[in-house]
A and B are shown apart, each in its own frame.
Chain A
Amino acid sequence: GDSVTQMEGPVTLSEEAFLTINCTYTATGYPSLFWYVQYPGEGLQLLLKATKADDKGSNKGFEATYRKETTSFHLEKGSVQVSDSAVYFCALSRTQAGTALIFGKGTTLSVSS
Protein backbone atom coordinates (compact mmCIF):
# COMPACT_ATOMS: atom_id res chain seq x y z
CA GLY A 1 0.00 0.00 0.00
CA ASP A 2 0.85 3.65 -0.14
CA SER A 3 3.32 4.90 2.45
CA VAL A 4 5.56 7.80 3.42
CA THR A 5 8.98 7.53 5.04
CA GLN A 6 10.72 10.52 6.50
CA MET A 7 13.94 10.89 8.38
CA GLU A 8 13.77 10.37 12.09
CA GLY A 9 14.56 13.21 14.41
CA PRO A 10 15.12 15.10 16.37
CA VAL A 11 17.06 17.45 14.15
CA THR A 12 18.96 20.05 16.13
CA LEU A 13 20.41 23.08 14.33
CA SER A 14 21.82 26.47 15.11
CA GLU A 15 20.09 29.56 13.80
CA GLU A 16 20.93 30.32 10.14
CA ALA A 17 21.97 26.72 9.42
CA PHE A 18 20.78 24.88 6.31
CA LEU A 19 17.94 22.42 6.78
CA THR A 20 17.09 19.25 4.89
CA ILE A 21 14.43 16.81 6.00
CA ASN A 22 14.24 13.77 3.74
CA CYS A 23 10.94 12.29 2.61
CA THR A 24 10.35 9.38 0.25
CA TYR A 25 7.08 7.80 -0.74
CA THR A 26 5.55 4.66 -2.19
CA ALA A 27 2.34 5.08 -4.13
CA THR A 28 0.46 3.87 -7.14
CA GLY A 29 -0.36 6.45 -9.73
CA TYR A 30 0.48 10.10 -9.25
CA PRO A 31 -0.18 11.31 -5.72
CA SER A 32 -0.10 14.89 -4.53
CA LEU A 33 2.57 15.59 -1.93
CA PHE A 34 2.48 17.86 1.09
CA TRP A 35 4.52 19.15 3.96
CA TYR A 36 2.59 20.04 7.11
CA VAL A 37 4.03 21.78 10.17
CA GLN A 38 2.88 21.47 13.77
CA TYR A 39 4.02 24.19 16.16
CA PRO A 40 4.02 23.37 19.89
CA GLY A 41 0.49 23.04 21.25
CA GLU A 42 -1.16 23.61 17.88
CA GLY A 43 -2.78 21.65 15.10
CA LEU A 44 -1.22 20.96 11.72
CA GLN A 45 -0.84 23.68 9.12
CA LEU A 46 -0.13 23.16 5.46
CA LEU A 47 3.38 24.41 4.71
CA LEU A 48 3.64 23.63 1.00
CA LYS A 49 2.39 21.24 -1.64
CA ALA A 50 3.13 19.85 -5.11
CA THR A 51 0.69 18.07 -7.36
CA LYS A 52 2.80 16.68 -10.20
CA ALA A 53 6.33 15.63 -11.05
CA ASP A 54 8.96 18.40 -11.04
CA ASP A 55 6.63 20.83 -9.29
CA LYS A 56 8.33 22.88 -6.59
CA GLY A 57 6.32 23.93 -3.58
CA SER A 58 7.55 26.87 -1.56
CA ASN A 59 6.43 28.91 1.43
CA LYS A 60 8.10 30.92 4.20
CA GLY A 61 11.56 30.15 2.80
CA PHE A 62 10.92 26.41 2.70
CA GLU A 63 11.05 24.49 -0.58
CA ALA A 64 10.42 20.95 -1.75
CA THR A 65 10.53 19.47 -5.26
CA TYR A 66 8.39 16.53 -6.38
CA ARG A 67 10.90 14.02 -7.79
CA LYS A 68 9.09 11.13 -9.42
CA GLU A 69 12.27 9.36 -10.51
CA THR A 70 13.49 9.09 -6.92
CA THR A 71 9.99 9.14 -5.33
CA SER A 72 11.14 11.92 -3.03
CA PHE A 73 9.90 15.25 -1.68
CA HIS A 74 12.70 16.56 0.53
CA LEU A 75 12.10 19.71 2.55
CA GLU A 76 14.82 22.38 2.52
CA LYS A 77 15.41 25.81 3.96
CA GLY A 78 18.54 27.85 3.47
CA SER A 79 18.62 29.59 6.85
CA VAL A 80 16.50 28.37 9.74
CA GLN A 81 15.23 30.54 12.57
CA VAL A 82 14.33 29.71 16.15
CA SER A 83 10.69 30.21 15.20
CA ASP A 84 10.96 27.26 12.77
CA SER A 85 11.20 24.85 15.71
CA ALA A 86 8.28 22.47 15.19
CA VAL A 87 7.33 19.00 14.02
CA TYR A 88 7.27 18.55 10.25
CA PHE A 89 5.14 15.93 8.52
CA CYS A 90 5.43 14.74 4.96
CA ALA A 91 2.16 13.42 3.50
CA LEU A 92 0.62 12.18 0.29
CA SER A 93 -2.88 11.95 -1.03
CA ARG A 94 -4.02 8.84 -2.77
CA THR A 95 -4.87 9.10 -6.42
CA GLN A 96 -8.58 9.22 -5.73
CA ALA A 97 -9.41 12.80 -4.92
CA GLY A 98 -10.88 13.45 -1.53
CA THR A 99 -9.50 10.47 0.31
CA ALA A 100 -7.51 10.96 3.43
CA LEU A 101 -3.84 11.84 3.65
CA ILE A 102 -1.13 9.32 4.47
CA PHE A 103 1.42 10.82 6.83
CA GLY A 104 5.01 10.10 7.67
CA LYS A 105 5.89 9.78 11.33
CA GLY A 106 7.06 13.36 11.67
CA THR A 107 10.45 14.98 12.23
CA THR A 108 11.05 17.25 15.19
CA LEU A 109 13.21 20.28 14.43
CA SER A 110 14.81 22.25 17.23
CA VAL A 111 16.65 25.48 16.36
CA SER A 112 18.79 27.25 18.94
CA SER A 113 20.06 30.82 18.88
Chain B
Amino acid sequence: DADVTQTPRNRITKTGKRIMLECSQTKGHDRMYWYRQDPGLGLRLIYYSFDVKDINKGEISDGYSVSRQAQAKFSLSLESAIPNQTALYFCATSGRTSEIYNEQFFGPGTRLTVL
Protein backbone atom coordinates (compact mmCIF):
# COMPACT_ATOMS: atom_id res chain seq x y z
CA ASP B 1 0.00 0.00 0.00
CA ALA B 2 1.12 3.54 -0.74
CA ASP B 3 2.52 5.53 2.19
CA VAL B 4 0.88 8.79 1.08
CA THR B 5 -2.56 8.59 -0.49
CA GLN B 6 -4.73 11.28 -2.02
CA THR B 7 -8.43 11.26 -2.81
CA PRO B 8 -9.91 11.81 -5.26
CA ARG B 9 -7.34 11.20 -7.99
CA ASN B 10 -9.34 13.17 -10.52
CA ARG B 11 -12.10 15.70 -10.05
CA ILE B 12 -14.07 17.94 -12.36
CA THR B 13 -16.15 20.65 -10.75
CA LYS B 14 -17.87 23.90 -11.62
CA THR B 15 -17.01 27.47 -10.77
CA GLY B 16 -18.29 28.45 -7.34
CA LYS B 17 -18.46 24.94 -5.92
CA ARG B 18 -16.77 23.96 -2.69
CA ILE B 19 -14.39 21.07 -2.99
CA MET B 20 -12.16 19.16 -0.59
CA LEU B 21 -9.04 17.20 -1.43
CA GLU B 22 -7.87 14.70 1.13
CA CYS B 23 -4.47 13.35 2.04
CA SER B 24 -3.61 10.48 4.37
CA GLN B 25 -0.25 9.06 5.32
CA THR B 26 0.97 5.96 7.10
CA LYS B 27 4.58 7.06 7.44
CA GLY B 28 4.12 8.44 10.94
CA HIS B 29 5.43 11.84 9.84
CA ASP B 30 4.45 14.96 11.71
CA ARG B 31 4.90 17.42 8.83
CA MET B 32 2.55 17.66 5.87
CA TYR B 33 2.39 19.95 2.85
CA TRP B 34 0.10 20.87 -0.03
CA TYR B 35 1.55 21.95 -3.37
CA ARG B 36 0.04 22.74 -6.73
CA GLN B 37 1.74 22.01 -10.03
CA ASP B 38 1.10 24.04 -13.15
CA PRO B 39 2.79 23.45 -16.51
CA GLY B 40 6.00 25.46 -16.75
CA LEU B 41 5.76 26.71 -13.17
CA GLY B 42 6.97 23.74 -11.16
CA LEU B 43 5.48 23.12 -7.72
CA ARG B 44 4.33 25.93 -5.49
CA LEU B 45 3.52 25.64 -1.81
CA ILE B 46 -0.06 26.32 -0.71
CA TYR B 47 -0.04 25.39 3.00
CA TYR B 48 2.06 23.36 5.38
CA SER B 49 1.58 21.93 8.84
CA PHE B 50 4.23 20.94 11.36
CA ASP B 51 1.73 19.22 13.64
CA VAL B 52 -1.98 19.15 14.34
CA LYS B 53 -1.93 22.58 16.01
CA ASP B 54 0.54 24.28 13.70
CA ILE B 55 -0.66 25.36 10.24
CA ASN B 56 1.13 27.87 8.05
CA LYS B 57 0.42 29.62 4.77
CA GLY B 58 2.64 29.04 1.80
CA GLU B 59 3.30 31.32 -1.14
CA ILE B 60 -0.08 30.88 -2.84
CA SER B 61 -2.63 30.31 -0.06
CA ASP B 62 -5.30 32.76 -1.28
CA GLY B 63 -8.50 30.94 -2.18
CA TYR B 64 -7.54 27.82 -0.21
CA SER B 65 -7.96 26.57 3.34
CA VAL B 66 -6.71 23.48 5.13
CA SER B 67 -7.58 21.26 8.04
CA ARG B 68 -5.26 18.93 9.95
CA GLN B 69 -7.75 16.49 11.40
CA ALA B 70 -5.12 14.17 12.82
CA GLN B 71 -1.42 13.60 12.49
CA ALA B 72 -2.09 11.36 9.51
CA LYS B 73 -4.68 13.50 7.71
CA PHE B 74 -4.39 16.87 6.00
CA SER B 75 -7.21 18.21 3.82
CA LEU B 76 -7.18 21.06 1.34
CA SER B 77 -10.40 22.96 0.58
CA LEU B 78 -11.37 25.33 -2.17
CA GLU B 79 -14.27 27.30 -0.72
CA SER B 80 -15.44 28.64 -4.06
CA ALA B 81 -13.55 27.09 -6.95
CA ILE B 82 -12.47 29.20 -9.92
CA PRO B 83 -11.03 28.08 -13.28
CA ASN B 84 -7.47 29.25 -12.54
CA GLN B 85 -7.38 26.72 -9.71
CA THR B 86 -7.31 24.01 -12.34
CA ALA B 87 -4.04 22.20 -11.61
CA LEU B 88 -2.40 19.06 -10.29
CA TYR B 89 -2.33 19.04 -6.49
CA PHE B 90 0.21 17.12 -4.45
CA CYS B 91 0.35 16.27 -0.79
CA ALA B 92 3.74 15.58 0.78
CA THR B 93 5.07 14.56 4.18
CA SER B 94 8.37 14.73 6.03
CA GLY B 95 9.41 13.41 9.39
CA ARG B 96 11.76 14.26 12.21
CA THR B 97 14.11 11.45 11.29
CA SER B 98 14.74 13.17 7.97
CA GLU B 99 14.66 16.65 9.44
CA ILE B 100 18.18 17.64 8.59
CA TYR B 101 17.65 16.70 4.97
CA ASN B 102 14.06 17.89 4.71
CA GLU B 103 13.35 14.97 2.40
CA GLN B 104 9.71 14.89 1.44
CA PHE B 105 7.55 12.00 0.31
CA PHE B 106 4.82 12.75 -2.22
CA GLY B 107 1.38 11.36 -2.89
CA PRO B 108 0.26 10.45 -6.42
CA GLY B 109 -1.54 13.75 -6.98
CA THR B 110 -5.10 14.92 -7.60
CA ARG B 111 -5.94 16.37 -10.99
CA LEU B 112 -8.56 19.09 -10.48
CA THR B 113 -10.44 20.77 -13.31
CA VAL B 114 -12.69 23.75 -12.62
CA LEU B 115 -15.07 24.55 -15.44
Q: Name A's B-contacting residues (CB within 8 A).
A: 32, 34, 36, 42-46, 49, 51, 89, 93, 97-101, 103-106
Contact = CB atoms under 8 A, between A and B. Distances in A.
Contacts of A34: 103
Dominant SS at the B interface? strand
B63 interface: no
Contacts, number: 58
Interface of B: 4, 31, 33, 35, 40-45, 48, 50, 58, 90, 92, 94, 99-109
A43 B90 contact: yes
B11 to A, nearest CB: 16
Contacts of B41: 105
Nearest to B109: A43
A32 B103 CA distance: 9
A104 B41 CA distance: 8
Q: Which of B48, B99, B103, B108 counts the most A-chain CB atoms under 10 A from its CB?
A: B103
A101 B50 CA distance: 14
Contacts of A100: 33, 35, 45, 48, 58, 104
